[in-house]
């Protein structure tokens, strides 16, 4: 059990520290960053889908097979992430010239991101409780998604009126909520907990990839960049496929 705690806490701390990636974007011109970000998004989509279909689903089916309960939990997972995203959109204010509204937008973004990070922490714990390889694969999937997400969150906070130092600090505090999720998940380490959380995690990964990331890729219409996107997408899937050999 000590090894599981060590891997879980190390992984969630690494994931949380990704929130500081915003500091590296300060030296990159906005137009260059925008061009690079789309390829992070492409590979992230591939990694998330690869983890759901190559790792989490096979583990669930090996444990209990496909049941109506599994189908219900998958739908529940999609619903949870849909409502989380909907909540954030409900609080996006159109009065972008009002400083109070902009600050409110930043706080709502932090709240939504904190809840998302808490779920990520639970996912990391549940994955490592099944096996070390599954935990590593899920951690990589979360890292791949968090890099473009944290860059985006950092930009929202700056746009909302936060100073660069405060944006980094608050983004880090929001990210550290994942540690709470991991610790809670490790304490609730019974089999029923894992059987409930893993389908919700898989559904969340699929939702993020298909509802958030892939639609962003469709905004690119140039053939050359679209092909690079496709390569990045396949690369992300391939990375997760390689992890299946480590699991075996």
Cα separation, 175 vs 219, in Å, equals 29
Nearest Cα neighbor of 214 from 41, 83, 35, 50 is 41
How many domains are there within the chain? 1
Q: Output the CA–CA distances (angstroms, integers) from residue 146 to 67, 71, 195, in the order listed.
A: 31, 27, 25
pLDDT for the residue 142: 84
Cα separation, 117 vs 22, in Å, equals 17
Report pLDDT digits (tens) over 175-218. 899 999 899 888 877 656 667 777 887 888 888 888 877 888 88
How many residues are listed for the chain in this entry?
248
Would you say the pTM of this structure is higher than 0.95?
no
Q: How many helical (H) and strand (E) elements, i.e. helices and strands, does the chain have?
A: 12, 0
Residue 87, domain extent: 2-247
Nearest Cα neighbor of 26 from 143, 167, 149 is 167
Cα separation, 242 vs 235, in Å, equals 11
Three-point CA angle 123, 125, 127, nearest 5°: 65
Contact 120/142 with Cβ under 8 angstroms? Answer: yes
Q: What is the pLDDT along the chain (248 residues), one digit of tens a residue?
A: 788 999 999 999 998 888 887 677 666 676 776 677 777 778 878 888 888 898 888 888 887 788 898 899 999 989 988 887 777 666 554 444 445 444 555 666 677 677 778 888 888 988 898 888 889 988 988 887 777 667 666 766 766 677 777 888 888 888 899 999 899 888 877 656 667 777 887 888 888 888 877 888 888 888 988 999 999 899 889 888 887 776 55
Cα separation, 226 vs 214, in Å, equals 12
Burial class for 2, CB neighbours closer than 10 Å (0-12, 13-18, 19+)? exposed
Contact 204/138 with Cβ under 8 angstroms? Answer: no
């Amino acid at each position: 059990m000590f090894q599981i705690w060590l891997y879980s806490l190390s992984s969630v701390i690494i994931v949380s520290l990704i929130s500081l990636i915003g500091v590296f974007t300060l030296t990159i011109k906005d137009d260059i960053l925008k061009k690079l970000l789309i390829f992070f998004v492409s590979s992230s989509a591939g990694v998330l889908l690869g983890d759901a279909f190559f790792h989490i689903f096979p583990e669930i089916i090996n444990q209990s097979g496909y049941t109506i309960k599994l189908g219900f939990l998958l739908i529940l997972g999609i619903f949870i992430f849909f409502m989380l995203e909907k909540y954030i959109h409900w609080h996006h204010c159109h009065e972008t010239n009002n400083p109070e509204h902009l600050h409110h937008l930043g706080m709502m973004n932090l709240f939504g991101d904190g809840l998302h990070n808490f779920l990520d922490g639970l996912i990391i714990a549940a994955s490592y409780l099944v096996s070390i390889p599954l935990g590593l694969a899920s951690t990589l999937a979360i890292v791949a998604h968090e890099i473009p997400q944290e860059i985006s969150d950092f930009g929202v906070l700056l746009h909302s009126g936060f100073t660069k130092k405060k944006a980094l600090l608050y983004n880090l505090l929001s990210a550290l909520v994942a540690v709470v999720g991991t610790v809670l998940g490790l304490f609730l380490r019974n089999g029923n907990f894992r059987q409930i959380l893993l389908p919700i995690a898989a559904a969340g990964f699929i939702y993020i990839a298909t509802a958030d990331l892939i639609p962003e890729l469709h905004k690119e219409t140039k053939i050359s960049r679209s092909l690079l996107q496709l390569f990045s997408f396949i690369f992300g899937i391939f990375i997760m496929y390689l992890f299946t050999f480590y699991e075996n």
